[in-house]
Each structure stands twice: as C-alpha cells, then as structure tokens.
Structure 1
Amino acid sequence: MGNPGSTLSAYRDMQSQARSILEAAKHGPLQSLSDRELPLRDHPLTIYPHALQRRVRAWVRFGPEAVRVDAKVVRSTPLAAGVEFRAEEKTFRCWVWSNAVALADDELS
C-alpha cells in the first residue's frame, strides 16, 4: 500500500515543482534548441513509444530563468533529448542538450 508520509511528500514536491515551473514561465517562453542546433535531417532521430519513455531530471529554460524539472524523454538524437513535463494542467515540450538530462533517482535502482 505504500508509506502515506512518502506519498504526501511526493505530492508536495510535485506541487512545489509546478509552482517553480509556472513562476519561471513568467520570465519568458520555454526555450528549445533551434533547427540549426538540432539538424534533424543530418542525425538519426529516435521516437520512444510510451512504454520506453524514461523518467529523467532535466534542466530547462524559460527566457533567462533555468529550472530543473521531472520530465520524460520522448525522443532523442545522439546529442539532444526531446523532453516533456507538466505543471498543473499544462504540458511543456522542448529539446535540450543530452548533458542537461540525468536519469531520475528511482530509475537508477
């Protein structure tokens, strides 16, 4: 059934992250790698089916404001990751450099 304290803590963390994302979004639009930085025609692109999407922690940027988010990798190239994350009812998607992404802690076990 799980630990109720752990579940409450995870919920509070999720709410805190959503507030951080929405606050950062006030500083500008979500940044994504440009077509020039991400030449999809020149590099292989992997699109992951839902069952293979990995949970990660990723650094994203809204205008000048950087925030680390819990996300999932939905696509990738050898140098970049297409990530998706949520805050409240809003879903965000962007491309970031692969080194801005790390496996979520529970994925390491």
Structure 2
Amino acid sequence: MGTNKRYAAYYDRQMDARILQRIAAEFPLQSLTDRELQAGSLPVTRDPQPKPCKAWVRFGPHAMLVDGVVAVWNDLACGIEFTIGDRQLRCWVWANAVTPIEPGYPSHEH
C-alpha cells in the first residue's frame, strides 16, 4: 500500500518547525557583526516591500534553513526577518546564504 505524499510532506514540515522552535529556544540567534558588514563603508538599501526568501541562519552551532523576507541589504549581506512560533526574529546573514523565492513559488518545497 502506498503513502500519500501530500500528507508526508505536511508532517515533515510540522516536524521541521518543531525542531526549529526547540533549537531557537535553546541557542542564541547569531548575526553578522558590524565589522563583517563593513557598516561604516558600505551603504545599506532598505526595501519598502521586503521580498520572500529562504535563508540559512545560525542558532549557536546549528545552521537552520528558514522562510523569511529580505528587508535590507548591502553588497555583502542581507538583513532578514523571519518568524519562529510567535517570535519575530531579525539577523544579518551573508548574501550567499539567501535564496530569493519568486512570487507563486511554493516556499515549503524549495
């Protein structure tokens, strides 16, 4: 007897969300430093309509892939916002840690 892939994907996402919540509760969110961002020398662009993305963030030693939005950026990094449970979080990550999500593209399957 086969399995229903739609339900399997749903339960996989639920499990991933629980793991992410647990790790986020136990470890601090890391963000790039001003020195890494070259904050004094690189201009920052703010987007009035943040764009959806997938991004790798770090909680302590754990790298986690999250759904978020890119709100600000410079030539090296992106400032992203994302939600875990009921917490809205923000951090800076290297630009190559971010993958844009095109409109209409289902983020849970990327």
Same fold by TM-score greater than 0.5: yes
* CA RMSD, Structure 1 to Structure 2 (Å): 2.4
Aligned length: 98
Specify which structure has the higher proportion of strand. 2
TM-score normalized with structure 2 length: 0.76
Post-superposition CA distance 1:46-77 (Å, at most 9, x none): 01113xx1111100000001100001000000
Structure 2, unaligned stretches of length 5 or more? 1-5
Q: How does 1:1-80 map to 2 (within 5 A)?
A: 13=13, 15-50=14-49, 53-80=50-77
Q: Percent identity?
A: 42
Whole-Å Cα distance in 1 between the matches of residues 38 and 81 of structure 2? 20
Which of the residues 77, 83, 87 maps onto 1:86?
A: 83
Q: Which has the larger radius of gyration?
A: 2
Structure 2 partner of 1:3: none
TM-score normalized with structure 1 length: 0.77
Whole-Å Cα distance in 1 between the matches of residues 95 and 34 of structure 2? 16
Structure 1, unaligned stretches of length 5 or more? 1-5
